[in-house]
Every structure is written in C-alpha cells, then in structure tokens.
Structure 1
Amino acid sequence: MASPDLTPKRPDPDALLALARADRPGRLKIFLGAAPGVGKTYAMLAAAQRLKAEGHPPVVGLVETHGRKETVALTEGLEILPRRPVAYRGQFLEEFDLDAALARRPALLIVDELAHTNADGSRHPKRWQDVQELLDAGIDVWTALNIQHLESLADVVAQITGVQVRETVPDAILQTAQDVVLVDIPPDELIARLKAGKIYLPQTAARATENFFNRGNLTALRELALRRTADRVEDQMTQILRQKAIEGPWGASERLMVCVGPDGSGEKLVRLAARQAASLNASWIAVSLARPGAPHGPDSLDLAESLGAEVQRLTSTDFAADLLRLARRENVTQILLGQRGRALSRALLALTEDIPVMVVPLGSLPRRLDLSALTAPGLVLDLGLAALVTGLGVAVGTGLDALMELPNLSMVFLLGVLAASALRGARSASLAAGLSFLAYNFFFIEPVHTLTIAKPHELFALLIFLAVALLTGSLTARIRAQVQTAVAQTRAIEAQAGFSRKLAVASTEEDVLWAAVTQVHALMGSTAILLVPEGPDLIARAAWPPDELTDPAERTAARWALEKAEAAGWRTGTLPNIRFRFEPLRTPGRVVGVLGFEPRDPSEPLSPEDETQLSATIEQAALALDRALLVREAVKAAALEENEKIRDALLTSLSHDLRTPLAAILGSVTTLQARGGLAAGQALDLLQTIGQEAGRLNRFVGNLMEMSRIDQGALKMRRDWVDVGDAVRDAVERCGKTHPGRVTRISLAPDLRFIRGDQDLLAQVIFNLADNAHKYADEGEVAIHARNEGDQVVISVTDEGPGIKPVDLERVFEKFYRGGGTDRRKAGTGLGLSICRGLVQAMGGTIEAQSPAIRRRGTRMVVRLPAAELPEEA
C-alpha cells in the first residue's frame, strides 16, 4: 500500500496571480438575463432597496425604467444623479454623466444597460468602458446585461434569432466581474409579460412576438445564459481550489491556435475559437496569415484581441511549416482552421502527428468573384506596361521574322511577361500574358491577322505558352514581392538601429525626447508630440513639426493615457474621434511620458508593419527616457547628498570653531571682571588672548563670506596691474602679526613680471597659504618663493610639516575638508585652501599641492598665474 503524500501543497501561482489582478479597487456585479424583459433592472433596484433598508443606500447613476410603474416605484428614496444632455442630429439625448459620478464618488453606483453605445463626443464610445473607469476609481458598480450582447455569442445569436446584434460587450467584462446574478423566467411567462404590455407598447409587442420573442428563440437564449453562468461558476470554483492548493483531477493546460486569412470567415472563426477556449478554460492565439507583400486583415485580429486572444501576424510562403514551428514554440495543443483551409490542414497533418488540426464548418460562405485586383490603384499603369511589352514583343518578333525564319517566337513575348512581372508584379504579368497570347496568335500563327488557329499543334503550343507565361510571371512576381518585403524589413531594421544609436548616445532627457519625436514623425509622416509629467501638469516638451495641444479633448486623452497606462484618442476606446492617438511610455515601474501622433489617413487603421515599428519605437523611447530620468534623479540625489555633507560640515565647524574662541574670550573677560586686582602682566595676557581669539573669529567669518561670494559668482575681480612682490610682502607682514615669533622666509626673482588681477585678493591667497603652512610646520620655517617660468609667474609656499598623503593632495581644496586631522584647532575650518583655489581660478591661474616637498616631508603649494606684458611707453 502506497504511503500518503504528506508534502505540503502549494497554491497554484497562476491562480494567485489571477486573484491579484481581480482585486481591483472597485467591485463589479452584473445582473445577467437571457432577453429583454426578464426583470434584470427590477431585480437590481430591489436589491438596492434592501441595501438602503440596511443603511447602505446606493446611488443611481442611470436606470432605464422604460416607463414600467413597478420599476419606477423601486427608484423612490434613492439618490439619482442628473443625466448629461448631448446634442445629436438636431435633438438632445440624455446620457450617463461619468464626470458627475466620479465627482460624487459613491461607495456603490447603479449603471444600467452595460452594452449601450454612447453618443458621439463622449469620453468613451461604450458604456462598459465608463464602468471600467468607475471601477478603477474605486467605485463599486451594479449593472445589467443580456446574454446576446456578449461579443463571442453575437454570431450565434444572429443565427438563432435572425437579428444582428450591434452593441456588444467583451467577454472579459463578464469574466472579471466579482458577482454575476442570473435573472431568469420561463419563456412562456416572458411572452405573457410581453403581450400584457409590460415590456413594449402593444404594436411593438406584436412584432416582437413574431420575430425575436418566440418560444424557440427564448429557449435557446435561456440555455446560452444558463450555460455561460454555469461556466463562470465552475471557473470561480476552480480558481478557489487552486488558490487553496486543493488537489483535483486537473488536466494538462490546453492552448488553442486559430488561423485567420483575409477572407470573410475570420470573425466567425474567431468567435467560435473564443467560445471553445472558454469552454476548455484554455488560452488561445489568433494568427493572421498573409503572403509576402499582401496585407493582413486587422478586423479579425482586433476582435480576437478584444475576446482575450494573444494576436500574432505571420507572413510566409510556407504556411504549414511556419505555423507548425510557431505552434510548437507556443505550446499549442489544438489548431483551428476554417473550412477553406482544408489544403493547409492536409499539409499540417503531413508534418505533425502530435497536434490535432480541426477544420471548422462555418456554414455557407458564398464565393464571390474578387474584383479588387481590377479596382485597386495602379491598374492603368499595369495595363499600360502590359500593352507596352506586348507591343515591343510584336515589333521585335516582326523584325526577327523578316531577318530569319524562326520556328517559335513565343520566347520574345515570354521575356516581356517576365519584365512586366519584375517591374509591376503579378497583375501586370497576368495582363501581359493575356495580351501576348492574343498578339502571338494574331500576328504570328497561321492564318495571320485572325484569332483562328488552323493547325491543332499550334493551339497546343499556344496554350502551353499561356500556362508558362502565367506561371513564370507569378513566380517572378512572388520573388519581387519577397524582395520588396525584405527591403522594407531591412529599412525598418535600419531605422530602428539608427534610432537605437541615437538613444544610446543621448546624454540628456531633452536628447531622448527629440530623438523620439523625430523618429515617430519620420515613421508616421505627420505631427508627433511628446509630453512628460512635471508635478501635477503634463507638459509638451518636444513636438515635430512644432505643435501644441489646444483642444481640451486632446489634453484629456493625453492625461488619460498617462494615468491609466493605456492608449487613448484616435481609434481607441477613449475619445476615439480626436486627431491624435496617445500612447503611454510604459516601463516596468511607471509611466514616464505620453507620445502622441497623427495618423497619415484618419479613415484607415495603421498597417501591421507601422504598428510593429511604432510599438518598438515607443518601448525604446520609454526605456531611454526612464534611464535619462534616473540619471537626472541620481545627479540630483548626489547634489543633495553633497549639500547635506556641506551642511553637516558647516554645522560642525560652527559648533566648534565659533564655540572654542568664544569660550576663550568669555573666560578671559570673566576673569578680568571677577579679579579687578590682577597684575599688569596677567591682565595683558588675558587681553592678548581676547585679541587673538577675536581675530580667529574674524578670519572664520571672513572665510565664510568669501566662500559664499565665490560659490554664488558674486566675486568681482579687478583687472589691475599687480606687482607680485608687493603682494608677497603684504601677506608676509600680515602673517608676522598673526604668528609672532615664527619665521617666514621670502625669495623673489629680481625680474619678476607683473600679472593682471586684484592685488588685495592675491595677497589674501598668499596669506591663507602661509597661515595654513605655519599651522602644520610645527616649529619649522615657511618659505615663499616667486619666479618667472615661461609666460607664467609661479608662487610657491613651502612648510616643513609632516606633509599630505598622496590621496589627499587634491581633496585638501574641497570645502570643509580637514585631512582627517584630530587637532581641529590646528586644522581650522577647512575653507582656506578652497578659497585660495576659487580666487586663483578667478584670476585665470591654477593651484596645486605637492608633498613631500623637502627632505621627504613638508608640503609645497604652487600657484601659477599668467604673466602680463606691460604697455610700451609712448
């Protein structure tokens, strides 16, 4: 007997992820019915009255009572938001006011008729999109829906009832609802309600009973509603079991692939695949198939995406091999094809034994004659080229026939067919083959100048010529299309590579913005604009050609794209009638901006190639802009950190360097005041201490003020003739007063040149260096030398102290840097050398520290200033 498995069971990660996605701010409850009149709105308002009685009254955003007294009575006592009047075709309609609901922000809002289409000019074309915005805002919503309005069931309902459903809701809305309440009554009771005038007016009810509201239709719709509700309950139970790690007979995960082409069967096939995927709880992929050079059909793919499919486009010359390769890469377990894909299904079955291929019957699909090739642009050029090459073939053939006797001139015409195919494609080749067939018969087959053929073998040869011409023309056209596709792809890759290079070298946010808008402008051929958030505002930072968003609807769409991280504007679900489409620049952590562009042709959707390039451009721009913003934030953080260090150093200096001399001054003053009978020598010593410490305070404050002037650029430098020797002597004289008894030796070159600058500031620099040297020279002397060196005047200040570590030779010029010394009195404030560098640089010179200086110790500060030429005397 096998021992039980005691290993702890872990919850299913996919189930937990689905739970996290479903845990949105607002909760959605749908009252689902099989048909109008079953009592969805009544049941919803009855539940609202029960909540009101419990002390939690909901707010009515919109309810359609259709004049039914029982339904109207249930709205009494409930707060009802006013509707928004909208002008439409000369009259005013009353629509749900989304902005008023968001401003009121109730805990629970009732919004009836989920599948309703909003009037033109509304923010969203569909009411279910209004409901999604309410949910995202954290508002719970109750709504009502009939089963025939589900997107995947639209064609089934049309087949059952004969009525085409125009207003549909994506199945994902029903799947993501936290609660679904099925409102159901038997068909006979519903028909009785209809005849009693409780649903429509009597004349309308009579027509409805004959058409939509018959027993068969209502029974079929009731079954659809019951099945879909049961499927959803099963899905919920499955998710709960997986989240709680309860074992069950879970099968392998199914994954469907549906293949759609450019014919009219795509929408039916996509809806059927969506229903099958829902019944199997399977994910699915919709693949659009097209030959090189042929367009993909966007309508079926848009529908598939709205029904929850992953969409891919496949351009290939070998559909079977490429589809099978894609299926294996995506772990597909079933492939669905339409009834016109039997040849493809046979090719797939010949290549695989492990993936089932199903050909789905889609009913009668009339094969209409495709006249698009005759009405497409460029027909005149194709026909003209075909006539030209045929005429040239006749001329060349006539000339050759006059010069020599050739058994067969068909090769001349075949050459023209190949030329037409290479220049214009398959249509021109087909026209050229047909004209060559007629011209060859008319001019070169006996009897000439007629379309009759005397000899049977000539007819056979002519037919062979036509077949060969069509075949070679078709092959050449296919090669031409493949070459054009390859060239287009190469250009797209080159464009993206060039854009990537621009982004790689873009060092600032501005560079990234302009690179992005110029790339999108080149791709779309129209205005591109890029907006970035700055505080509460969304600012247009780059546009090409220069443009501004002046339309309030455009600004609203851009703001929507930023806040909701989804596209808005042209051909989207939000404000689809404006001129721009706005795409959010999304990164894994945030939305860093919004890119807007105008389409080339607002009446046509973007081609798949343009969509692909646009998506790649947006992704690259988002990452590059995010990187630039991170760099800017890092620089700002580094500056703040540096400012914090300076602030801490300043506070430390203030707390010590002000307190120490103040303590000495206060102590001396207190002693003088308390002991009036001090000896003259003692009083003199105390007064001398007061003077020295006051001088220290004065120098400290002066250094702070000087540093502040340098940092703020407020230092005004004179450009006078400066005698460097006089500045050195002034500094040494001042140093003698500050450090009495200490030796400061000077050595000045006899031909010392003048400089242009400020003599007082130069003397300040030399004094700061000498003062700093005396602090670290212990009892040794300080030497100051000045000499000419090329076109510079070099001043050096050397001490005999312990010297500076090599790693600190540059750092000693930083503000508040003290070299790690523990003697803060000796080290000072750490501003002296920083002030020296600022003053020297203001005079156009440089300063550096050298250590060791003499006898493997000491420090030498070297100042280099540009020498000035004295003006010649007149």
Structure 2
Amino acid sequence: MPTVNKQEQRPDPEAILGKLDKAARGKLTVFLGAAAGVGKTYSMLEAAHERLSNGSDVVIGWVETHGRQETERLAAGLPKISAKIFAYRGKELAEMDIDAIITRKPELVLVDELAHTNVPGSRHVRRFQDVEELIDAGINVYTTLNIQHIESLNDMVAQITGVVVRETVPDHIIEEADNVQLIDMPPEDLIKRLKEGKVYVPGQAERALKNFFRPGNINALREMSLRFTASRVDKQLSEYMREHQIDGPWPAAGRIMVCVSASPFSAQLIRVARRLAAGQQAEWLAVHVETARRFPVGDAERDRVARNMRLAEELGAQILSSTADNLAEEILEIARSRNVTAIVIGKPRHGRVREFLYGSVVDKLIRNGSGINVCVIQAKKEKAPGGSIATANVGERANWSHYVLSLLMVAAVTLFNWVLHGRIELVNVALIYQLPVAFSAFWWGRWPAYFSAVCSVLLFDLLFVPPIFTFTVDDVRYVWSFLSFLVVAFVIGGRTELLRYEATAARVREKSTRALYDFSREIVAVIDLDTIVRKLAGQAADALGRRVVVLLPDANGSLAVWAERDPGSGELLSDMSQDNKVPLADSAEAAVAVWSYEHRQVAGRSTETLPAAQYLYLPLNTRESTVGVLGIRIVEKLITHEQRRLMNAWAGLAAIAIERVKLTEEARQAALLAESDRLRSALFNSVSHELRTPMATIIGSSSTLLEAEDVYSAAERRSLIETIKEGAARINLILLNLLDTARLESGMLQLKYDWCDIEDIIGTALRQLADQTKGRPLNVKISDDVPLLRGDCVLLVQVLVNLLDNAIKYSPRGTGIEIKVGSGSDSLQVSVVDHGAGISEADLPRIFDKFFRIQRRTGNVPGTGLGLSICKGLVEAHGGKIWAENAAGGGAVISFTLPLGNNQAILQPESE
C-alpha cells in the first residue's frame, strides 16, 4: 500500500485565505454557450425571475434582447438601471452605468455579453472589467458568454470557423467564476432558429448560415464548450478531494515556459501554452529574451512584445524579461533555474540559409535541453491588430551627419595612405582602412560602419590596387582581399555596435538600479513626509525620464498633489509647503487618479482601465491600505514589461517609505498618548497626596473658627487665619504648577514680551512668599550694571517663586537664602543659594525631571516634583538655560541665564 504524504494533504493556507477574501466579494455566474442564439440571455432572465420571486433584490444592468420578443417580455418584468450616454464621433451611445449600480447596490445584477468592448470614454475598455468592479463591490452578477470569446481558445476557434474573434475574455475570469451553467442546443434547432429570424435579422442570418453557423462549426464549438465545462468540473472535483483529504492519483505538477517575441505568432504560442498548462494543471511562465542580434527594435515590434506579454499576464502567466547575447543559452538557463519541464516555442519560418549562418534556436534547445521537453508549434499567419501608435524614444533615427563624418574619416585615412604610398605595403593600407569602420561602429552604429567599409573598399581599389584610377583589377587575388575586407569590416562593425548596445543597456539598468538604491538609502533615516515625497518625485522623474506626480490624501482624506516634477528639472512644479498642498483639480485625470486610489488598481494610460488619460496611475498599496498614488506621464500607447516593472518598483518603494513615515507618526502619537496617560496618573497621585495636607489644615482651622469663635483670643484666631492662608497659598502654588505643566506639555505656552526690571521681579516673588520666608535672613545682591530685559514678567516671577520655594523646603529653618544677579555682555544670570544639605552627585542630572524629588532621611519633603521642571521649561522658552550645582560652603545653587541683546529675535513678542 503506498505511503501518503500527510504534508501534501494539508490544506493550502494561501487557498484558505483566498477563500476568505472571496467570501467578501460578490458571486459570479456565467451562462456559457457554444454560439449566439442558444438561449443564454433567455436562461439568465429566467433564473433572475426565479431569484426575484424568492425575495432577492434583482436588477438589470445591461441586457441585449436583439429584438427577440420572448426575451423582451422576460426583461420587461425586471427592474432596470438606466444606461449612461456617451458622445462618440457625433453620436450618442449607451453603456452600462457602473456607478449607478454600485450606488443602488442590489443583491443581483444582470450583465449581458461579458466579452463586449465598451464605448471609448468609458471607465474600462472591456465589460468584464466592469463585472470585476461590481463583484469587488460585493454585488452578485449573472452574465453570458460564448465559448469563442475565451482568450486561450481564440486561435482554435479561428482555425475551425475561419473567423478571428477580436473580443475575448481572459481565462481567469471564467476559472474564478462561482458557477458556470452550460446552455446547449442541437445544431438543427439552432439553424432553425436562425432561419426563423429569432437570432439575427433575415439578411444577417443568411450570411451567418453561409459562414459561421455551419453544422460542422456548431458541432466543433459545442464540443469545445462541453470539454471546457468538463475540465472545470474535473478541477472542482480535484479541489474537493484535496480539501477533504481524499486519496487519489495526484499528478506531479510540472511547469511550462513559453518563449515570447515580437513575432505576430507569439500570441498563438501563448494560447497553446495556456491550454497545455490548464490540461496538466501546471504553472506556466512567459519569457521574453531581448538580444542584440537585431537592433534597434522598431515601434511595431516593441508594441507587439508589450501586447504579447500583456496577453500572457491576462491568461495567468508569470512574466519574465531578460537580456542576453545567446538566445538559446539564456532560455535554457531560465528554464533550469525555474524548474521548467516543457518549453513551448514556435517553428522558425525563415530559410535554411539564415539557420546555416546563425544556427537554429530550436535545434539548440532540443540538443542541449536534457530533461526538458521542447514543444515546437507550427504557427499560422495572424494579422497584428492595428491602431497602435509610435512609442517614444525607441531606436535611433537616421542621422545623415554620421554618414558624412564617416566619409570624412575615410577621406582622411585615404590621404594618409596616399602620402605614405610606396613606403608601406598594400596589406597595411587595407588594415589602416579598418580604422574608420571600427570608429564609425563605435560612435554611430553599424550602418555608418558598413557605409565606411564600402567606401574604403572602393577607394582602396581605385587608388592603390593596380591599375590605379580604375575599378579594374588585374590580379584576381585582390578580389578575395576585397571580400575578406568587407567580411571583416562587417563583423567588426556589427560586434562593435553589439558592445555599444550592451554597454548602453547596462548603463540604463545600472542607472535605474542606482536610482532606486540612492532613494532607499537617502530616506532610510528620514521621517519627514514632505522630504520623502520631494525626493521621490525628483529621483523617479530622472530615473524614468518622464514627468512624475505624487498624490497623497490631505487632512480631509481627499487626494492632493504633493509633488510634481519633470525629468532633469531641479524645480518642483507644485508647492511643497506643509500647509499649501495643491488640491487635485476636478478633471478627467483627477477622476482616474481617485479611481486608482479607491480601488487599489492600476489605471490610466497603457492600461485597459480609463486608458484615455495622459498619466499611468499606480496606487501605492501596502498590506492593509493605499497611502497614495504615483502618476507617471506616458506618451506611447503601450509600454514594455521592463518599463512597467521599473515603475512598479518605484511605486512599491514609495509605498513602503510613506507607510514607514505614517507608522512612525502613529508610534509617536502612541508614545505621546502613553506619556500623557503616565503624566495624568502621576499628576493625579501627586496632587491627591499634596492637596490632602493643606486642605485638611484649611478645613480644620475654618471649622475651629466657626464652632468655637468666642473661645479663642484674637491672637489665636489670627494664627488660625494665617494657617488657612498658608494652606490656600500652598494649594495655589500647586495649581499654578499644574497649569504651567499642562501648558508646556501641550505646546500652547505663549510668551507675552515686555521690558522687565529684575529688581521688580525679585520683589514680587518675595512678597508672594512673605509668610514662608519669615524668620529667614534674605540676602539680595544685584550688580549695578544690570540692564532691563525683554521677557514675560509674570512667568519669570513664577520661575523665581519656584526656586525660592525649593530653597525654603530643602534648607533648615532659620538659615539664610541668597539671591545673586549679575550680567555679562549678552546675558543676565540669576542664582538662588540655600544653606541646606546640598544635592548628591547621583541626583544632579535628574533634578529638573518631572515628579523627581530628593528623598531625605528626616522625612519626605512636601511637593509634587514639578517646580524645577517648570522652571526649566519657562527659562528655555525665553531662550535661556538653567542648571544646578553644590555651593562650596554647603548647600545648593540653582542658576539660570536669560539673553539680553537678541532675546527678542528668539521668540518675537506678541503684537500689541
């Protein structure tokens, strides 16, 4: 009995997460038919009526009745969303209104003809994209589709019917559908319906019967639809067996690789690879290897490569691009590194002469690809779709000055050889003529080099090969010399340009990589969003060679332009000030950017979603949200996969950088909140303890006065009143400190500047502490040359009150307190000296911390630990500094300085 690997039977976590994500989306039901007229729309409407009778909210988003009375009667019995009118080429055309459906948000919406191409100007190019948006919005969709519109079957349908179907739907749309209902009808019945005019109008029906709707075609299409449905059922059965750990013959999954080029036949190869991968339930990838054998690549070829790679991506392939000199070796290297089991490649259509000169890629793959199956497909001619436009900055245009300069070099070499003629051998003359060939190839490309080679041979024959001044050659050996010269020149020119091309490509790749690296390195320690966005716009524009705009949500959640820059420009096109972001204009471009931001999908130029835009909009997606949009100006209609990959790299790096800033800000806010909570708790604990004693004193003294007023003498009553006053003063000081702390922590402290006399400030502070300083010698020393200073007089009084109160609390009763004031050239210094125990070295660095209090052996000193921290904040707000030290004779000295001459420049006074 074979051993079952339990690891293979375990459910795939990614599949489970995918099902959870899919549960939040709408359900898609596809009514699939072999051809038009089999009754797909009719069956869809019948099913919708059944859902409506069961109480479901059903509406018609879009239904094509084609004038069929039975279909029109069924459609008339269902609610309908009005169509949206578009003006196109002087006509008004109707299309499905997606926004109205999403706003209405029914439980089920009917959308006919899934493969339909929308009117230009619609949000999406194709209707299946509209359906995807509806499903993402949580709306269930019923839709119809013919088998010939499935992308991977497109070439098979063309081979059977002779008709190339242009409107196709990617296979993944059908594969991800929740339900596929096959609507079938025998060919005889379908032909009868055609003849009765129930499918097309009479004239169109007659043409259809002669061309597409022949019995053989219908049977072949029926077989394709049945096979497709059976394959889907088999896949569902396999998934069921895997989910429920049912033993069965599990085939080993292979991996298929298709080689994509600029050939029009590549689209057929891609579809063949897709069908092979689906049949083998294997992964597959599409690879495009760019070689330097044929360059520069033209506009048409570049467009075809981009179109073919997009087709492969739509069909579910993993996309890969590479650059190499040897095509066959690079394909095999990629196949081995990706564990590919089969390579799909087209059969060459060129002649045997070219194979003899360059070798056959197919033969090399078969000969060297040991262990890898090579599937060679005979492709048929396929018309390339029109409508493409020239891409920007591709290839090199003919520059006649290069040919003129090449000719001048040949002329200079000819003059040099003519001067030395007779002193050098003819073979040396021929070698010297190779110089303009090599230089032309290196500087200007192969065609100027080939031109130089031909001119060199002609001049060599005319001026140096006997008989001279004629093109006649007496010695036939010179003919072989000419041929050898041309072959060598052509090889040198071609290989030199090849090196030049590879060097240019390497410089481009190195520039792109370096730009990404420099940007990531520069922003690694930056947490300022404006700086990051400014660097992103500048470096991305230079690296991509295109205008770049960065759109981020403002305080209201609406997109705004944070930066916009052209390549090579040192100036930003948009204001980057924090409070003056450029609002997003209400335009078509703005609508595309907002759509990309809200739906987390790429949109705009070179896509099939709102392609009329001038910019390609890439959402800056993170794992959980979208932090903004990167807009890139696109001139060409299609961009290559390599360009798209580089743009995605910039978008991904930008999203990470912006998310890091936002997370840093959130962490800072969380830290501030935690600090605020800690401060609140500390304040509550400290205040509740410190207020208890003076409040108890006030309550006790006032109760004594009220209850036994006649018992106590006047002196005793005065003593009780003074006790109440001291308690109230203590409470007032505590409350002032709390208010000042809150103002400092919140950043709301506003200094009211005025001219202050330090003597008045000291006098006011001493008057406020008159009761506490009774019995203490006070020594105030003020220098004679102390000038006035500008500051907030009230807050400076508060500083001095806190310093004196601290000196009183931490020095024995009866000891003196000194206040010293002196001035220097640019500052004024105030010191408060007590004669207490001083401050230990361990406590000196923490003396100005909030809630820090020095513990004494004789008992705890009353206070909240906020006085000195408030002094520090107020002094620093004035542009000064404060410090503490121990006095030489014992005690502590707390000093602070305030600027004199330039203090008004540090914080401007409020306007009067």
Give the TM-score normalised by the residue count of structure 2: 0.86
Distance 2:883 2:643 in 1: 59
Query: 2:348: which partner in 1?
Result: 340
In the superposition, relative to structure 1, how do residues 515 and 744 fare at CA in structure 2: closer, same or farther (>3 Å)?
same
Aligned counterpart for 1:472 among listed residues 492, 496, 505: 492
In the superposition, relative to structure 1, how do residues 676 and 15 fare at CA in structure 2: closer, same or farther (>3 Å)?
closer
Task: Tell which deviates more after alignment, 289-298 or 323-332.
Answer: 289-298
Trace 1:31-70 onto structure 2 (pairs within 5 A). 31-70=31-70
Query: 1:640: which partner in 2?
Result: 673
**Which amino acid is 1:334 matched to?**
A
Deviation, 1:394, is: 4.5
Contact 2:33 2:147 in 1 (8 A): yes
Partner secondary structure for residue 247 of structure 1: coil
In the superposition, relative to structure 1, how do residues 388 and 230 fare at CA in structure 2: closer, same or farther (>3 Å)?
farther
Distance 1:245 1:699 in 2: 76
In the superposition, relative to structure 1, how do residues 185 and 634 fare at CA in structure 2: closer, same or farther (>3 Å)?
same
Contact 2:515 2:543 in 1 (8 A): no
**Which amino acid is 1:344 matched to?**
V
1:718 is the counterpart of 2:739: no
1:592 is the counterpart of 2:627: yes
In the superposition, relative to structure 1, how do residues 55 and 766 fare at CA in structure 2: closer, same or farther (>3 Å)?
closer
The one-character-per-residue Cα deviations of 1:553-611 (angstroms, maximum 9, x if unpaired) are 21221112212222111121221101121111123333211111212xx2343355543
Contact 2:309 2:641 in 1 (8 A): no
The one-character-per-residue Cα deviations of 1:48-104 (angstroms, maximum 9, x if unpaired) are 111122222511111111111111121232111111122222222221111111111
Contact 2:790 2:900 in 1 (8 A): no
Distance 1:144 1:810 in 2: 78
Task: Tell which deviates more after alignment, 203-212 or 476-485.
Answer: 476-485
Contact 1:755 1:865 in 2 (8 A): no
Contact 2:786 2:823 in 1 (8 A): no
In the superposition, relative to structure 1, how do residues 554 and 2 fare at CA in structure 2: closer, same or farther (>3 Å)?
closer
In the superposition, relative to structure 1, how do residues 422 and 322 fare at CA in structure 2: closer, same or farther (>3 Å)?
same
1:623 is the counterpart of 2:656: yes
**Which amino acid is 2:311 matched to?**
L
**Which amino acid is 1:358 matched to?**
C
Trace 1:813-824 onto structure 2 (pairs within 5 A). 813-814=848-849, 818=853
1:232 is the counterpart of 2:232: yes
Deviation, 1:751, is: 6.5
Query: 1:481: which partner in 2?
Result: 501
Distance 1:691 1:677 in 2: 21
Contact 1:16 1:243 in 2 (8 A): no
Query: 2:241: which partner in 1?
Result: 241
**Which amino acid is 1:712 matched to?**
M
The one-character-per-residue Cα deviations of 1:850-872 (angstroms, maximum 9, x if unpaired) are 369866xx644233456899xxx
Aligned counterpart for 1:849 among listed residues 884, 899, 902: 884
Task: Tell which deviates more after alignment, 39-48 or 70-79.
Answer: 70-79
Query: 1:872: which partner in 2?
Result: none
Trace 1:355-434 onto structure 2 (pairs within 5 A). 355-363=372-380, 377-378=397-398, 380-381=400-401, 383-401=403-421, 406=426, 409-434=429-454
**Which amino acid is 1:380 matched to?**
W
1:156 is the counterpart of 2:174: no
Query: 2:288: which partner in 1?
Result: 288
In the superposition, relative to structure 1, how do residues 703 and 357 fare at CA in structure 2: closer, same or farther (>3 Å)?
same
Deviation, 1:620, is: 2.1
- Mind listing any 5+ residue stretches in structure 1 that lack a counterpart? 870-874
Query: 1:776: which partner in 2?
Result: 810
In the superposition, relative to structure 1, how do residues 783 and 144 fare at CA in structure 2: closer, same or farther (>3 Å)?
same
Query: 1:546: which partner in 2?
Result: 573
Aligned residues: CA RMSD? 3.5
The one-character-per-residue Cα deviations of 1:109-162 (angstroms, maximum 9, x if unpaired) are 111111111111111111111111101111010100111111112222112111
1:693 is the counterpart of 2:727: yes
Contact 1:57 1:78 in 2 (8 A): no
Give me the identity figure in percent.
38
Trace 1:150-229 onto structure 2 (pairs within 5 A). 150-229=150-229
**Which amino acid is 1:211 matched to?**
N
Distance 1:542 1:625 in 2: 13
Deviation, 1:622, is: 1.8
Trace 1:111-150 onto structure 2 (pairs within 5 A). 111-150=111-150
Distance 1:234 1:82 in 2: 40
Query: 1:527: which partner in 2?
Result: 547
Task: Tell which deviates more after alignment, 353-362 or 696-705.
Answer: 696-705
Task: Tell which deviates more after alignment, 838-847 or 306-315.
Answer: 838-847
Partner secondary structure for residue 287 of structure 1: strand
In the superposition, relative to structure 1, how do residues 509 and 763 fare at CA in structure 2: closer, same or farther (>3 Å)?
closer
Distance 1:364 1:331 in 2: 32
Distance 2:455 2:503 in 1: 26
Distance 1:687 1:747 in 2: 30
Distance 1:2 1:344 in 2: 43
Query: 1:498: which partner in 2?
Result: 518
Deviation, 1:4, is: 9.1
The one-character-per-residue Cα deviations of 1:757-792 (angstroms, maximum 9, x if unpaired) are 577765553332222232233557353252658656
Query: 2:23: which partner in 1?
Result: 23
Deviation, 1:659, is: 5.6
Contact 2:265 2:381 in 1 (8 A): no
Distance 1:800 1:249 in 2: 94
Task: Tell which deviates more after alignment, 450-459 or 354-363.
Answer: 450-459
Partner secondary structure for residue 181 of structure 2: strand
Deviation, 1:800, is: 5.8
- Mind listing any 5+ residue stretches in structure 2 that lack a counterpart? 350-358, 385-390, 566-571, 575-581, 903-912
Deviation, 1:335, is: 1.6
Give the TM-score normalised by the residue count of structure 1: 0.89
Partner secondary structure for residue 896 of structure 2: strand
Partner secondary structure for residue 737 of structure 1: coil
The one-character-per-residue Cα deviations of 1:8-49 (angstroms, maximum 9, x if unpaired) are 952234543553454341111111111111111011111111
Contact 1:517 1:529 in 2 (8 A): yes
Partner secondary structure for residue 849 of structure 1: strand
Query: 1:78: which partner in 2?
Result: 78
In the superposition, relative to structure 1, how do residues 822 and 307 fare at CA in structure 2: closer, same or farther (>3 Å)?
farther
1:558 is the counterpart of 2:593: yes
